Structure 1
Amino acid sequence: MPVSAPLEHLLAHSSNKFPAQDWEMVTAPEQHGLTADVRSKIEVALDGLPTTSFLAVVGGDILYNYGNIAEVSYLASTRKSILSMLMGKAVAEGKIDLDLTMADLNIDEDHGLLPIEKTATLRDLLVSSSGVYHQPGSPGSNTKNIPARGSKTPGSYFHYNNWDFNVLGAAFEQLTGRSVFKAFEEDFAGPMAMQDFDPSRQRMMGYEDASRYLAYHFFLSARDMARLGLTMARKGRWGDNQVVPADWVFESTRVHVPADRMNESVKSRIAGYSYLWWIPVVTNDTPEWRGAFVAAGHFGQFILGLPALDMVFVNRRALPDELAIARNDGSFKEELAAVTMEDFLSVADLLINAKLSAA
């Protein structure tokens, strides 16, 4: 769908550059509406949140940063959107067929999956609608109103369950012959010249007595997360390389499960769920949100991309004991202060509205 005339004007003045090893700062932030008054409002907002770092990128340069954007910390569920990105190339190459079922892949659990659960496809898992309600091997699922085992036909009912996401990681590794972390290193970290990526920090974690399938946990910095967001905002490109197929970017960021079909409370700013991405609401009055996507992780780990404005936003809430949160010792501290989706988007709004006002 074409962008509106004002947005075309904004994109015409975008540099369309990509950062080298180091990010550069926007040379004239006021041209993007970032005045002293706007900056003050942003800092007041962020000071009132448990945010540890925040980053806004426009045209491939840093428009605004807060906190230590080089700090590496736990991504929580933001990891899921990264897996979606990785799957694009494998699907395009024919290594992954999204119509493969759990039975086709010999996916099972120690106490067995039900026959109906074994009919779930990888596509069902991508939209968190597998119909498999086996206990997941990691925290972070929706633990309320869990349907009974075997009560839902795969693909018919959305329930946010880490079993789906963890099994997708296992299926990716089975079908591609590479670990999720090795694929990330080779396909993204290297080509994107990530500054803070450490292969030794990435690890599988979870409750080994709950499921055969654990979580593939990432530990990244805000400025490296912004490279991922910029790639998606640029239709899968990084420089001259198509690191994520453009068709996959489109397919994985359009609504597959509308908000009104979800069985849980969905924030008012979210229109639905795609292939491991949350999709914001777009109205006739907010064309700048067309094509937008959000990766969201517990406690306040977010990536927001707005292709229509060539902007990317990242929020981090680094944790005091990041490994204890993710490992299988019962230390998942729900009581820790978190940055909500609404909190994050309200800060992003200040920069987005400033950008629009400067057009």
Structure 2
Amino acid sequence: MPRIKHKVLIWVACLCTLILVVLVYLIQTGGRDRSRESQPVRFLDITRIGAADSQYLGWDPNGLDEVFGYLATLSSDTLVIVTKGQTVASFGDLKTPYRTHPIRKAFLSALVGQHIGPNSGQIRLDARLQDLGIDDTPQSLTHMQKQATVKHLLKSTSGINHPAAAGGGFVNDTNLRLGVEQNKPGTVWAYNNWDYNALTTIFEERTGWTIAEGFQIGIARPTLMKDFTLNSVSYISEPELSQHKAAAFRMSAGDLIKFGQLYLDNGQMNNQQIIPSSWIDRITTDFTKTGRDDLRWGHGYLWWIPNPETGLPTGSFWAWGLGNQAIFVIPEWETVIVHQSDTTEFLNRFMPMIEEGQEAEAAIEQLVLSCVKRDNRKSEYCIEHRFTTRREFNTLISLIIHARI
């Protein structure tokens, strides 16, 4: 049993390292080694409505041709565009759950939003960590850090720079923004997994539910999700860093669409208010600018806000995860868009390389660049499972924007 536990911890550590190295690599390269011309074209089994119906719902059929033509050069596993509750176009198996990676934060935000209030079993936005008995081990929080509130955690402005489980690829950016000194809560924004893991602990302690139970009872059942089960949630625990665990999700595209549609419909379904509409309004009215000028221009209540100059309408927001998992909610277009890439094969190749002693950065570079080589481009891995770069994903979203009439 100790050997098994040790191996699991190695895999968790490797996964966190992978996320860090991938993001750093892609940010530095911008995906410069990828182009539409350099990749073979896959056959995609696409489901689409007729041209007249597409135009009626605000989509240019020729523009959608370009979207899916480009998608055929990527390794995406699902893409779904739903407008006014009608599926305009979709590709992939919409019933297969994939790792959502950091999209988990949007689910956590929904759960907290459902339980905001002053009563027993509820969560006060102004409750301080000190009031809630939240601390950490092996490194304790300082008195100033314990003054951070639930709202600070939700807005990523706690200012707490503390090691976290599933720290991911934003560790360097978090350290740069927060520094090594204490920060007064509410004064510094940083994408900070410690905040989100502490929120997980607060939710479970205050409600008495696990994250899986809360999501199943509060969201999956009332929205009629078909593929979510209690086993869809697992925990990443790194007690040598922090006592607070990260709750990871596996979700199907079909269920992600229902989640996004819930937000598009102001939290209502079948005349039932599932998430308070005021909670959803907070995302786009009480967000913090991140200093970026792209799709992650702002951040509010664990959702990203795109820069209006990207072409997405004001009021849009989205959730994003490793492998370019994404849920876009675009109220002005009455549209929800979901994109997924299965990272399993990528991880299956990366982990053994690390276990054999290869440096993480060298391993990731080898895997990413291997698919640039002409002899490898037509391999099953490079066609179906390679990692989609930041530039490719941005190009895909740009084509979707331009397909809008």
- TM-score of the superposition, structure 1-length normalised? 0.81
Match of 1:133 among 161, 165, 172: 161
Answer yes or no: is 1:319 the counterpart of 2:343: yes
The partner residue of 1:98 within 107, 111, 125 is 125
Structure 2 match to 1:188: 219
Deviation larger for 85-94 or 160-169: 85-94
Q: Greater share of helix residues, 1 or 2?
A: 2
Distance 2:80 2:67 in 1: 11
Q: Is the 8 A contact 2:154 2:195 kept in 1?
A: yes
CA-CA distance at 1:187 after TM superposition: 1.3
Deviations 1:199-235 (A, max 9, x none): 2231111323211011111110011101111111111
Structure 2 gaps, min length 5: 1-46, 369-385
Q: Which of 350, 353, 358 is residue 399 of structure 2 equivalent to?
A: 350
Selected match of 1:48 from 64, 67, 73: 73
Aligned positions of 1:227-266 closer than 5 A = 227-260=258-291, 266=292
Q: Which runs of 4+ in 1 moved over 6 A?
A: 322-325
Q: Is the Cα–Cα contact under 8 Å of residues 52 and 317 in structure 1 kept in the other structure?
A: yes
TM-score (norm 2): 0.72
Matches within 5 A, 1:264-343: 266-282=292-308, 289-320=313-344, 335=364, 337-339=386-388, 343=392
| Residues 251 and 176 (structure 1), Cα distance of their counterparts in 2 relative to 1, 3 Å cut | same
Percent identity reads 26
Contact 2:233 2:249 in 1 (8 A): yes
In 1, the alpha carbon distance for the partners of 2:75 and 2:293 equals 20
Task: Quote the offset at 1:350 in angstroms.
Answer: 3.4
Q: 102, 116, 126: which one pairs with 1:77?
A: 102
1:49 CA drift (Å): 2.4
SS at match of 2:302: coil
Q: Are the structure 2 counterparts of residues 35 and 98 from structure 1 closer, same or farther at C-alpha, using a change threshold of 3 Å?
A: closer
* Gapped regions of structure 1 (runs ≥ 5): 1-23, 261-265
- Provide the rounded CA distance (Å) in 2 between the counterparts of 1:205 and 1:36: 43
Shift of 1:90: 0.7
> Aligned to 1:143, which of 141, 159, 171?
171
Q: Aligned-pair distance for 1:107?
A: 1.1
Answer yes or no: is the 8 Å Cα contact 2:48–2:90 preserved in 1. no
Q: How far does residue 33 in structure 1 lie from its aligned partner after superposition?
A: 5.4
> Number of matched residues?
323
SS in 1 for 2:124: coil
Select the residue among 184, 204, 211 that pairs with 2:242: 211
Kindly name which structure, 1 or 2, has the bigger radius of gyration based on alpha carbons: 2
1:259-306 Cα shifts (integer Å, max 9, x gaps):
33xxxxx352333110000011236x95x6121111011111100010
Contact 1:313/1:348, CA 8 A, preserved across alignment: no
Determine if contact 1:138/1:162 at 8 Å carries over to the other structure: yes
2:145 is equivalent to residue 117 of structure 1: yes
What is the aligned partner in structure 2 of residue 12 from structure 1? none
Contact 1:291 1:306 in 2 (8 A): yes
RMSD: 2.8
